[in-house]
Amino acid sequence: MPTISFTVNGTRRSVDVRDPEQPLLYALRNTIGLTGPKFGCGLGQCGACTVLLDKTPLRSCITPLSAVAGKSITTIEGLGTPDKPHPVQAAFIAEQAAQCGYCANGMVMTSAALLASNPKPSETEIKDALSANLCRCGTHVRIVRAVMRASGRTPA
Amino acid sequence: MNAPFDLQMSRRQLLKAGGALVVTLALPLSARATEQVLRDKRGNAQPHALLDKTLDVSAVDGFIAIHQDGTVTLFSGKVDLGQGLRIAIRQMAAEELGISVDKIEMIEGDTALTPDQGPTAGSTGIMRGGVQIRQAAATAREALIAMAAERLQKQPSELIVQDGAVRPKSGGGAGVSYAELVGGKRFNLKLDAKAPLNNPTAYRIVGKPLLRPDVPAKVTGTHTYVHDVKLPGMLHGRVLRPAGDGAQIISVDESSVKKFPGVKIVRIGDFLAVAAPDEWDAIQAAAALKVVWNDTGKLMGHDKVEQWLRSGPFDGEETLVNKGNAAAALQAASGKLSASYYWPAQTHGSIGPSCAVADVGARQATIYTASQGTHRYRPAYAQMLGLPNEAVRLVYVDGAGCYGMNGHDDAAADAALMSKALGKPVRVQWTRQDEHGFDPKGPPQALTLEAALGPDNTIAAWRTEMWLPRATASLPTVPLLAPQTAGMPQPKGISTGLITQNGDPPYQVANVSVGVHWHDSAPLRPANIRAPGKIANIFAVECMTDELAAKAGIDPLAFRLQSLKDARGAEVIRRTASLFGWEARAAGAGAGSKTNQRGRGIAYSHYKHNETYVAMAMEVEVNRASGEIRVLRVACAHDCGLIINPDGLRAQVEGSILQTISRSLFEEIRFDTRRVQNVDWASYPILTFPAMPEVRIDLIDRPTMPPLGGGEAAASPVAAALANAVWDAVGVRLRTVPFTPERVKAALASV
């Protein structure tokens, strides 16, 4: 059984898999026990499964494990905790930018990646960055405000 | 105290720690562990209902327990689906009990622990569920004061409650804590409907925008969803959906999945599923399993639904409203207007496909489910599993937002059937294609309206005709896919939600009739979807109102106010006008000639004619060339009586507006003669961030009024306001949802 090694939230992990084409999402959730990334579509369309590959958002539901061998992955659990949230997570809490919260993983991870590369995005840039992340509860207004807040601006 | 609260405490500790690891530890709540607890106590396995916690909705102990450490547990039959009840109901109880919300835990939707307060549907969480718990808290407070009075040798009138203790109102002196009075004991008290509620002017907790306790875990990936529940020995299940609606299995080639280790096939009639210890193996096995279905081809296809609705034979006719003589008045009127509307079947569109975990033993079962109605669905599972009702326990765990009955209850049935067959706990995760293809759909609706102005330019006569699938009387639940495909008995019929309400105008009209032509079926299995029926009905009614205003040459906002006698209704309209910056003028009806033409529209809703008041104004931009509609901004004034948590309410209003814009602009389930065709987000698009409008909300608090529903009412006028704005912009009336660019272009071409 092949073993695939990669780094998750700073810790080296080795996962035994029969099928190296198994999407990363299932290894994270079931083998490693990080359930922050969510299964939403399995098609890379909604963003609920988003993790960071180095600093870039990655759809873990369609990324084969073989593609992350030797790479460094960050999940939402690696950003911060309820007690010590990442600034993006703190801003989501301050703006109460989650209803059911199922999409929140993708929103937080994509926003964190955006701010890492563009610390003061415009509202349009925020919306564009999140354009392929779907929310059904209609939390969009708060999510955009949260990203503005995380970038150090007071939301209007 | 006794076993149930020990159990309770353990669950509380577990859930607090959060995450997947914890869920593994959540074993004490599983069927086996509960069985163990009861065996220890009684010597043999007993069903869950014999746990000592009362579920009596008329008993204070049904809803409230005060523990030895002075903390409080609330047992709520209504659940938090993301709408904020988890803080709002705590606030209602905390206010009456005189204790801070952080001393309160809340258990939701557990058939072994929470009273049956009805399903969490129809925006009733606060107005029914919260109000009931508030009354339990008020009863408890009065009892605590009486107990303290005896102990402190004071009159009850000399005492107040504060920070979890009863204290003398004045003169200082020691108080006595709730823990000392009843910690770990029962109240043994009936709910007192007359127990006085605190005076709203003195509210300290209700009305505050307290933060929701679940958000930190939700945005750090540590919140436990039903998708994250993991039991020891659990198998991952996937159900193979029939190739066509009602299709039957001709053959299954079991050898086609031999290469996947530990894969089991479950086949009961036409219920076909695979399970494996490894989820990816289960997914691959489901894809690899060779199965031949027969060809049914019996669906009508989505493009035939409206015609089918409007054609007979009907299962019945019903007059819903009959005031004055609408037929005669319409005949007598000159310049009668007439228009027909259609709202298609839509999916709930949960971002997380439905999921459930079931642990079914020989004598009892525990099902972890995101159900809106754990008590309601329990008998369906008990029947399916051949167990007595009280031997089946449903435990609510958060799912992805459902907005009505999505596939959650089906996933739970799938998991239960598989767990029973395999003798192990089974987790069933639906696919995206399952959710879009097989969740019960919001039912299609067709309407035709006629109306006329009187000589004074007010509405003189009105007739609404509806063509609808009729909800089967006394149907206990939406029929479930698992027993249906497995050939197991279950009550037959359809469920739709209350879809006829708000078919008549909320204005003073002397002659009104509303009638419905009923069908006894629907092309796809229907169920309630957010604001059932009302969005389409108000879409039709408020578009007609707009057309009448234009015919009268009157500003549409002023036209509504002139025949609206309800002061709260008039206030939401006025405040919306002010929030929006509404300038009085008759509708433009496409007078402008720019490619990107802007327009504004308004709509008003008095939800169910007896609940929340909402008015909504929108500005849209319509591109004449592409047919694309952009909603630029929305203003909404909203009056649902007493506001418990203004930020939670605001979130619900925002969400309902955005979701309904999405349903109005983009969404229709398409199906051919076999099955749903648009089973992913590319083929069933929903609102995305770049399309999101600016949203302004004005919440009107009425502290002395009962609290009413928040979310659904806000959804109800959205399509109407949008269509009215499009008309103002480019002079075309959109009467069929969704308002796709193709429909807009076709309408523009026909002007």
Q: Per the CB < 8 Å rule, is B350 touching A136?
A: yes
Residue B269 pLDDT exceeds 70: yes
Count of alpha carbons within 13 Å of A126, Cβ hemisphere only? 26
pTM: 0.95
Q: Does B437 touch chain A (CB under 8 A)?
A: no
The predicted structure's pLDDT at residue B37: 36
| Among B residues 82-141, those touching chain A with beta carbons less than 8 Å apart | 82-84
Q: Does B80 touch chain A (CB under 8 A)?
A: no
The predicted structure's pLDDT at residue A108: 98
Q: For residue B118, give every residue at least 6 positions away whose Cβ sits within 8 Å of its Cβ, in sequence order, or none.
A: B77, B78, B124, B128, B129, B373, B375, B376
**Considering only CB atoms, which chain B residues are within 8 Å of A76?**
219-221
Q: Is the N-terminal amide bond of B313 cis, ω within 30° of 0? A: yes
| Among B residues 197-216, those touching chain A with beta carbons less than 8 Å apart | 211-212, 214-216
Taking the CA of residue B400 and the nearest CA in chain A, the distance in Å comes to 5
Residue carrying the six token digits 């004449």: B624
Tokens of B447: 């309407």
From the number of C-beta atoms within 10 Å of its C-beta (0-12, 13-18, 19+), residue B583 rates as exposed
Torsion of CA B688, B693, B696, B700, to 10 degrees: -60
Residue B43 pLDDT exceeds 60: no
Q: Does B431 touch chain A (CB under 8 A)?
A: yes
Whole-number Å distance between alpha carbons of B161 and B190: 20
Residues of chain A with pLDDT under 50: none
Whole-number Å distance between alpha carbons of B178 and B73: 13
Q: Which member of B215, B225, B351 has the closest CB to residue A136?
A: B351
Taking the CA of residue A15 and the nearest CA in chain B, the distance in Å comes to 13
Residue carrying the six token digits 């959650």: B408
Q: Which member of B218, B227, B353 has the closest CB to residue A104?
A: B218
Specify whether the CB–CB gap between B350 and B439 falls below 8 A.
Answer: yes
Q: Determine the residue of chain B that is closest to A84 in CA distance.
A: B220
The predicted structure's pLDDT at residue B698: 98
Short-list B632, B601, B39, CA closest to B363: B39
Q: Which member of B211, B662, B692 has the closest CB to residue A96?
A: B211
Residue B598 pLDDT exceeds 60: yes
Q: pLDDT tens digit string along B103-127?
A: 999 999 999 999 999 999 988 999 9
Arithmetic mean of pLDDT over chain B:
92
User: Pairing relation of β-strands B445-453 and B316-323?
Assistant: unpaired
Q: pLDDT tens digit string along B620-671?
A: 999 999 999 999 999 999 999 999 999 999 999 999 999 999 999 999 999 9
Task: Give B108's strand partners.
Answer: B76
Provide the number of CB pairs (under 8 Å) joining chain A to chain B. Answer: 190
Helix H or strand E segment including B356: strand B355-360
Q: Per the CB < 8 Å rule, is B659 touching A138?
A: yes
Q: Determine the residue of chain B that is closest to A88 in CA distance.
A: B219
Count of alpha carbons within 13 Å of B427, Cβ hemisphere only? 25
The predicted structure's pLDDT at residue B174: 83
The predicted structure's pLDDT at residue B122: 87
Torsion of CA A143, B347, B118, A40, to 10 degrees: -50
Q: Per the CB < 8 Å rule, is B690 touching A77?
A: no
Q: Per the CB < 8 Å rule, is B351 touching A35?
A: no
The predicted structure's pLDDT at residue B23: 29
> Which of A22, A59, A100, A109 should one mutate to test binding to chain B, selecting the residue with the greatest count of B CBs within 10 A?
A100
Short-list B714, B682, B719, CA closest to B696: B714
Alpha helices in B346-424 (DSSP H): 374-385, 408-422
Q: Per the CB < 8 Å rule, is A82 touching B659?
A: no
Q: Per the CB < 8 Å rule, is B401 touching A89?
A: no
Q: Per the CB < 8 Å rule, is B221 touching A35?
A: yes
Q: Does B17 touch chain A (CB under 8 A)?
A: no
Q: Determine the residue of chain B that is closest to A96 in CA distance.
A: B215
Q: Give the ipTM.
A: 0.98
Residue B415 pLDDT exceeds 60: yes
Percent of chain B at pLDDT > 70 equals 93
> Which of B108, B120, B220 should one mutate to test binding to chain A, selecting the residue with the greatest count of A CBs within 10 A?
B220
Residue B26 pLDDT exceeds 70: no
User: Pairing relation of β-strands B629-639 and B694-699?
Assistant: parallel
Q: Per the CB < 8 Å rule, is B216 touching A103?
A: no
Q: Does B396 touch chain A (CB under 8 A)?
A: no
**Considering only CB atoms, which chain A residues are within 8 Å of B83?**
99
Q: Which member of B279, B351, B652 has the closest CB to residue A26?
A: B279
Q: What is the average per-residue pLDDT within B52-72?
A: 95
Q: Per the CB < 8 Å rule, is B654 touching A138?
A: yes
Residue B32 pLDDT exceeds 60: no
Taking the CA of residue B45 and the nearest CA in chain A, the distance in Å comes to 32
Residue B11 pLDDT exceeds 80: no
Q: What band does B171 get if pLDDT is binned at 50, 70 and 90?
A: confident
Whole-number Å distance between alpha carbons of B446 and B533: 10
Q: Per the CB < 8 Å rule, is B215 touching A101?
A: yes
Residue B24 pLDDT exceeds 90: no
Q: Determine the residue of chain A that is closest to B83 in CA distance.
A: A99
Q: Where is average pLDDT lowest: B12-21, B288-297, B451-460?
A: B12-21
Residue B13 pLDDT exceeds 50: no
Q: Does B280 touch chain A (CB under 8 A)?
A: yes
Q: Does B218 touch chain A (CB under 8 A)?
A: yes
CB atoms within 10 A of CB B534: 25
Percent of chain B at pLDDT > 90 equals 89
The predicted structure's pLDDT at residue B7: 38
> Which of B21, B689, B695, B718 should one mutate to test binding to chain A, selecting the residue with the greatest count of A CBs within 10 A?
B689
Phi, psi of A142 (to 5 degrees): -70, -35
